[in-house]
Amino acid sequence: VVSDAHTGLVAAIGAVLPGASWQRCRTHYARNLLSQVPKSAQPWVATLLRTVFEQPDTDAVQAQMRHVLDALEAKFPKAAAHLDAAQHDLLAFTAFPREIWRQIWSNNPQERLNKEIRRRTDVVGIFPDRTALIRLVGAVLAEQNDEWTEARRYMGRELLAKARIHPIESETDETELPTELTA
């Protein structure tokens, strides 16, 4: 599951999907990290963070993360501490095959889909009834599904099969979840 680090959302994911791995969206995290440094340093920090995701394998990703943490520590210790605390969640994608890293390290595709649904429903404005809304949103979702499965092969069955070969143990501790989510 890929999302931002909203604590309620992360807790719900752990409660509803036990055993699923969770990946912190790199795009959302980059915004959080950039808020920790002065505006003049943001392009440098953003570029530095992107280098982590440009590595060819898991070991290189880990090594680059250590390099980035060292570079940040020298200039912006608060940002380095922020990144260090988030690195496990941010690098969860490395446990999966390299071929699907691009698809799972960010939830931007889902964000774009939500934006398209919003755009299409705003054009209509007021729906005559619930079924009209469901019909329009269903058509948008079906169109996107066709695009991902046929045209661009967002994540084909072969890649999904490889991902299942590498299960990840959940680190969610049910004792930490709110009682309404564990009941």
The answer to the question of residue 56 being in a domain is yes
Domain count, the chain: 2
Residues 74 and 45 in one domain: yes
Task: Write out the chain's pLDDT in tens, 183 residues.
Answer: 888 888 888 888 888 888 878 888 898 899 999 999 999 999 999 999 999 999 999 999 999 999 999 999 999 999 999 999 999 999 988 988 888 888 888 877 788 888 999 999 999 888 999 999 999 999 999 988 888 777 666 666 676 676 665 544 444 444 444 444 444
Residue 139 belongs to domain spanning: 108-160
The answer to the question of residue 102 being in a domain is no
Strand partners, 24: 3
Token pair, residue 54, equals 């440009």
DSSP letter for 41, please.
Answer: G
The answer to the question of residue 103 being in a domain is no
Model confidence, pTM: 0.68
